[in-house]
Structure 1
């Protein structure tokens, strides 16, 4: 596997508990931007209240699974998932549940583009 070029990489922080934000902003852009080649690498970070929504909403889970299948890398904040009691649910979906503060800082410092929803 070749190293990730930050200039061709995007990460999206999805923190909203509103399903409309997930469906009509965060997911739509994350999925399309990789599928259409707008970015070479796309990482969606589930952070805050979105962790609870992702663990309980079947439609959200289907879209997360489809994005992962198509190459979008998905992380969830372990501290948030633990606080909401949903870590096992997110891990069962195949989502990497990790402490994201340090890696997000590294992505910012290395030049990844970022969006927040």
Structure 2
């Protein structure tokens, strides 16, 4: 890779099967197989509620973070679902995501959404 290759995986689905079989599996592969230099997982919308309430998904996300995946969650979504403390407890950066996502889209990032 000559230039830095970066991907932001936008996880919006509240479907656990989509989370396990697509979102988290691909994000793990992108990091562990070094398909990209930088990998960010953005938890947005219904996925914030799903993640906050599912221990097995929380363990998978912790593993991604330990592997070096940056995980961010939308603070507006987390607030609407009342799950901000649960996500912060996991070590997830809970912030307003509109501007960061716009930056990913405008900069040299690939953005993949589920």
CA separation in 2, counterparts of 1:51 and 1:38? 26
Name stretches of at least 5 consecutive residues in structure 1 with no aligned partner: none
Q: Does 1:84 align with 2:69?
A: no
Residue in structure 1 matched with residue 50 of structure 2 by the alignment = 53
1:25 aligned onto 2:22: yes
User: 1:111: Cα distance to partner?
Assistant: 2.0
What residue ranges of structure 2 are gaps of 5+ in the alignment? none
Matches within 5 A, 1:36-51: 36-51=33-48
Correspondent of 1:103 among 93, 100, 104: 100
- Indicate the SS of the match to 2:71: strand
Give the secondary structure class of the aligned counterpart of 2:45.
Answer: coil
The 3-state SS of whatever aligns with 2:30 is helix
Residue 59 of structure 2 aligns with which residue? 62
Would you say how many aligned residue pairs link Structure 1 and Structure 2? Answer: 112
TM-score (norm 1): 0.93
Q: CA deviation at 1:107?
A: 1.1
Give the whole-Å Cα distance in 1 for the aligned partners of 2:60 and 2:8: 17
